[in-house]
A and B are shown apart, each in its own frame.
Chain A
Amino acid sequence: MSITTYREAALTNNYEFTGGGGYELPEYPFVEPPELHATTPVRHSVVIVGGGITGLTLACSLARLGVRAVLIDEDNTVGVKGASSRGICYTQKSLEIFERLGIFERIAAKGVQWSVGRTFAGDDEVYSFDLRQQGNFHLSSQPPFINIQQFYIEGFLVERTQELGVVELRWQNRLTGFEQNADFATLTVETPAGTYRLEAEHVIDATGSHSPLRKWLNVPFDSKRGDDRWCIADVRFTTHPPQERHTWIEAPFNENRAVWQHLMADDVWRIDYQMAPNADPEYVSREDVVRERLARQFGPDVEVEIVWVGPYAYRSECVHAMRHGRVYLMGDSAKVVSPFGARGGNTGVADADNLAWKLAAVLSGKADSALLDSYNDERLDAAQQNVCVTNRTARFLRPTDGTERLFRQAAIGLAKQHPFARALINTGRMAVANPYARSRACTYAPASAAGQSVQNVGFEWADGTRGDVNDLLNWAHGDLLVLVFGDLPAAALQRLRRLCLDSPVRSVQVLGASGAAQALEHVRDPQGHLKGACHVFGHAWALVRPDGYLAATGETINTQLVRAIERSLGLRGEPA
């Protein structure tokens, strides 16, 4: 796939006032589905509706795990025709997921890495951060962030899924009807060659923020809509700003409203201007007006090529439950957030990663179907966290007149004088791998890190070559992974062997720089990075799931581990 050329933007979808050259997107051929001529509907295990970043991540994940599925998408391309790239910023956790799927190298080659962010108010820098200096970001095999247009990732996912076989991608297949009973759902699908019906045991709604399924199912949700208005200009320059994320809370060159300056692939920069709440979207996105705005920011001499311009407003929405009968809501169909902090697309990717291994485990008979309900426990928790965090940012960026604006003024003033107040300045809290605090599939205990994500840190294989957590997850191939740190008594070793014979579990002994390997598979962790990533100390075990989350941790190989395994496979109904 090569999308480096731009062409006339078609003014379609909801982007009425868009302008600029636009992006050229790849197109995929329509193939007549076999069901068109079937007399009785064919039953599939999994049907994914929607081929955006979320649906495609799920499709690719299922293909990797060998689970047959069908994805239907109403369009014949990735991205949105006539629109810009919706998402631009991908977190370390998403990149770790993409690495497992086999597309990380392509993303890294095309995208732009960054780790420095700066926030300004007026002419002053209020604070800055370098994620490489913070926490453990530098320990993963993946960088803190890569910025890249969303459709590139989608295109890579399409090609990878096609390469893997197993999952069928059906373009120009539009869902027009839906019904379900306790066992399966029936979908009516319209294509250029006619309409057909297909049955599915599991339906994934990855149709996005205007989900038709959500309407048909009358899914209850909370919603919040403000009057904050923005206008994006995706541009190319003759001169380059630094490869950093810059945000202005009050930009002198934008009538003291906020401005975002972010980078993407192909030397495209996204400059996002906050508009007056009553601004006319048609006026603010007019080319001469946009050019004047850009000149105020970058100076009159900088030559600018406008790739895309579009005004937008945002809202936040969150459903009350992410499973409705046979239907699993995912990505924007489950929750919608403001763009601050990159918590939209990255959450969809994590939703897909969460459900993929569970579907695979249940469909192959390794786990009980009750495990599928933990998808709601975990990802609704994450959705609510992300809605809460993004709403707080939105409130900081668009305070109501009066006290809210007063406190922002106080915080900005103090932040220029004292370090403590910088923590109050909120120009977006970057997305994280959300921890799961109340999942029926996790076994919680005091001081346990159950429900937390394990970073893709490195270690040494027995032969001294470098490996990372993803290598172990790939090796486990959808089974659970028990990492045992330190040496083991003979009885524990026996127990562990039996466990691996009886259950879909693979175990690896993790030794320090020295220490004799016992009979099982072993790796060395001389710097303790793997141990640190699993949040354990001394002699311990960590039960790692195929999505790189900790199901449980413990000290000795006993019934506690057995129960934790059962719980993480949905075999113990009661919540921990």
Chain B
Amino acid sequence: MNTNPHLQDADAFYEQLLDAHADLSRDESELLNARLILLLANQIGDSAVLQACVAAARELPTTPV
């Protein structure tokens, strides 16, 4: 799992992500996220990397940020 900066344009991606959710209901937004996760997972493909990503995502912050 690569935890170093790898995004070509982090700000643009973040903006796209937020824009994609604009005008969506909460249910639609959740569905979009699920679809996006599956699409992105297929780009990665590698089982070990995916497993590490899922594990890293599970490390939820203990205090609200």
Residues of A that sit less than 8 Å from B by CB:
406-407, 409-411, 413-414, 418, 420-421, 424
Contact = CB atoms under 8 A, between A and B. Distances in A.
Nearest to B30: A406
Contacts of A410: 31, 34-35, 37-38
A208 B34 CA distance: 41
A424 B38 CA distance: 9
A420 B34 CA distance: 15
B10 interface: no
B62 interface: no
Given A406-B31, A411-B38, 17 more contacts: A406-B30, A406-B34, A407-B34, A407-B38, A409-B34, A410-B31, A410-B34, A410-B35, A410-B37, A410-B38, A413-B31, A413-B35, A414-B35, A414-B39, A418-B39, A421-B42, A424-B38
Contacts of B31: 406, 409-410, 413
A409 B28 CA distance: 11
Contacts of B37: 410
B47 to A, nearest CB: 13
Contacts of A406: 30-31, 34
Contacts of B34: 406-407, 409-410
A414 B31 CA distance: 11
Nearest to A411: B38
Interface of B: 30-31, 34-35, 37-39, 42
7 contacts: A406-B30, A406-B31, A409-B34, A410-B35, A411-B38, A413-B31, A421-B42
B31 to A, nearest CB: 6
Nearest to B27: A406
Nearest to A406: B34
Nearest to A402: B30
A406 B37 CA distance: 12
Contacts of A414: 35, 38-39
Contacts of A411: 38
A410 B31 CA distance: 6
Contact of B42 (A407, A409, A420): A420
Contacts of A413: 31, 35
Contacts of A409: 31, 34
B46 to A, nearest CB: 14
A418 B35 CA distance: 11
Interface centre among A410, A413, A418, by most chain B C-beta atoms within 10 angstroms, is: A410
Nearest to A408: B34
Nearest to A421: B38
Contacts of A418: 39
A413 B39 CA distance: 12
Contacts of B35: 410, 413-414
Contacts of A421: 38, 42
Nearest to A413: B35
A406 B34 CA distance: 7
A409 B39 CA distance: 14
A411 B37 CA distance: 10
